[in-house]
């Protein structure tokens, strides 16, 4: 009898791995941990959440009073007394319309605008020319002059208000827009020069050398080359100067003794004193005084950031 047993299947012998070729194992690319990348440490996550919390608190500090002022102008005094926090019910626009119909409000808007424009017209040429000389030319005492301009940031207007008042009275600039614009421009020069100097220094020296070879004078180079290239920095200085002049209170209060020359911050102070019990009217007036500066600042926000960072690469 023949035994018909199934033949045995040969088992392949294991091969030794070749030298220099590692044994590779295909990774699991679909693993969620690999797709997510390395997780940040607990300290970084807590620090990021802390920054978010601080930013949220700062936003609340800015937005809550602004919202209360805007909504308070649409309420009545009775609503503000009975329910200080809440939406107007019903909405009352009489406070805003009564302010917009008065000639004194628009006169104060014009005075604030005129003083702000005069201040900008004085700051931009003086700051750009001073920063151009300090940044592009080497001379003895250059850093000393720059240090003196920097020290100007340490002296607020209130420190020199009494000498300023005496000088302005002697030259006859009381109740004159120039009496406010000139001191504001003088105190605005330090920050303007600090912004302009690194921007001018970042422009390559080869550009000035090429212009000099072509017969371009320093004044022509400043006017035709440097100023067009420095538009972001000039825009930043203009925005900072206008907003600062618009919100100025102490200097215009002492210089502008004529009520017809008063600015909007002075008008807000007068309204809050004259109508101290009419809270809704005061809130409406404050809101209308803030709106132009807020709109201008929101429109020019990109110019401010671009101007502050444009000259920060090279010093």
Residue 1 lies in a domain: no
For position 105, what pLDDT does the model report?
Answer: 92
User: pTM here?
Assistant: 0.78
List average pLDDT for each run of 10 residues in the chain, which is 315 residues long. 50 52 49 54 77 89 89 89 84 90 93 95 94 89 88 85 91 92 93 90 87 87 88 88 91 91 92 86 91 81 65 49
Domain boundary pick from 69, 92, 115: 92
Kindly report, residue by residue over 208-251, the tens digit of the pLDDT: 888 888 888 888 988 988 888 888 889 889 988 998 999 899 99
Domain boundary pick from 92, 125, 160: 92
Residue 31 lies in a domain: no
First to last CA, the chain: 104
For position 18, what pLDDT does the model report?
Answer: 52
Residue 16 lies in a domain: no
Kindly report, residue by residue over 54-81, the tens digit of the pLDDT: 989 988 998 888 899 899 989 888 888 8
Number of domains in the chain: 2
Range of the domain at 233: 102-310
Considering the domain architecture, whether residues 87 and 170 belong to the same structural domain is answered as no
Domain boundary pick from 92, 125, 154: 92
């Amino acid at each position: 009898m023949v035994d018909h047993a199934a033949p045995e299947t040969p088992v392949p012998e294991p091969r030794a791995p070749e030298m220099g070729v590692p044994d590779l194992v295909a990774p699991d690319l679909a693993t969620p941990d690999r797709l997510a990348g390395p997780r940040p440490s607990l300290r970084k996550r807590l620090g990021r959440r802390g920054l978010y919390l601080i930013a949220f608190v700062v936003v609340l500090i800015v937005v809550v009073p602004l919202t209360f002022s805007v909504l308070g102008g649409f309420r009545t005094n009775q609503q503000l007394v009975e329910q200080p926090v809440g939406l107007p019910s019903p909405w009352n626009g009489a406070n805003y319309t009564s302010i917009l119909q008065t000639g004194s409000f628009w006169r104060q808007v014009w005075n604030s605008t005129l003083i702000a424009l005069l201040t900008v017209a004085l700051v931009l040429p003086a700051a750009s020319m001073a920063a151009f000389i300090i940044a592009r030319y080497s001379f003895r005492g250059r850093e000393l002059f720059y240090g003196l301009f920097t020290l100007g940031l340490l002296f607020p207007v209130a420190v020199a208000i009494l000498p300023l008042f005496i000088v302005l009275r002697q030259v006859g600039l009381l109740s004159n827009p120039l009496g406010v614009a000139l001191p504001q421009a003088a105190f605005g020069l330090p920050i303007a020069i600090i912004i302009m100097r690194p921007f001018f220094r970042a422009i390559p020296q080869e550009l000035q050398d090429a212009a000099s070879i072509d017969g371009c004078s320093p004044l022509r180079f400043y006017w035709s080359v440097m100023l067009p290239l420095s538009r972001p920095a000039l825009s930043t200085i203009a925005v900072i100067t206008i907003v600062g002049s618009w919100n100025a209170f102490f200097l215009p209060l002492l210089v502008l003794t004529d009520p017809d020359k008063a600015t909007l911050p002075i008008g807000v102070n007068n309204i809050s004193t004259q109508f101290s019990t009419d809270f809704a009217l005061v809130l409406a007036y404050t809101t209308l005084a803030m709106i132009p500066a807020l709109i201008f600042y929101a429109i020019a926000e990109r110019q401010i950031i671009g101007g502050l960072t444009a000259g920060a690469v090279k010093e």
